Amino acid sequence: MTFTKKSANLTPIADAVFTVVGKAREDKRINGEENVIDATIGTLCDNDGNLVALKSVFDHYDEIDHRIKASYAASFDGNPNFRKDVYEWVTQGTNLKLAHNVVATPGGSGAVSSTFTSVLDEGETVIIPNIAWGSYRLMATENNLKIAEYELFNDENHFNIDSIKE
């Protein structure tokens, strides 16, 4: 007996991001933490390796009533004032008159998942860098999307635009 549907892909995901994290840890062990700059996960740490929680952010955040922070949005696609502010931030006062819809998502992965589900049709292709969260590949597979992979960096460790063009 199993608890997953028969068509579920149960192949373990090899996550490139966490592979790189492991390599950075190993490099620190071999060469010393002071000789390695670890920018693998996208979290800001101080010189002692502690997570940075900016006072300029949390002082304001802590002033918000806990009931407001704990409450649900007015709608599943976000509060109207939030959607308006996001659109104004994106258009930066250019007065573009675009047909648009702003939808709030639970973080970046929520946005990627929503896009894969709502914008792309089965069989279409998603372009993903070779260093990316493994969950993006899983989301694409679950939506029956094809995956094209490109090399994120070239031999000089610069963004590899040529790989995307291929």
Residues 64 and 67: their CA atoms lie apart, in Å, by: 8
Q: What is the pLDDT of residues 119-128, one digit of tens each?
A: 999 999 999 9
Tokens of 43: 């979290």
- 104 in Cβ contact with 73 (< 8 Å): yes
Question: Angle 112-134-127 (CA atoms, 0-180°, nearest 5)?
Answer: 55
Q: What is the pLDDT of residues 13-43, one digit of tens each?
A: 667 777 888 888 899 899 998 898 777 766 6
Residues 13 and 137: their CA atoms lie apart, in Å, by: 9
pTM greater than the 0.75 cutoff: no
DSSP designation for 144: T
Q: What is the pLDDT of residues 80-119, one digit of tens each?
A: 888 899 899 989 988 888 788 888 887 888 889 988 998 9
What per-residue confidence (pLDDT) applies to 42? Answer: 67
Tokens of 99: 């047909």
Percentage of the chain lying above the pLDDT 90 cut: 33
- 133 in Cβ contact with 40 (< 8 Å): no
Q: Does the pLDDT at position 139 exceed 70?
A: yes
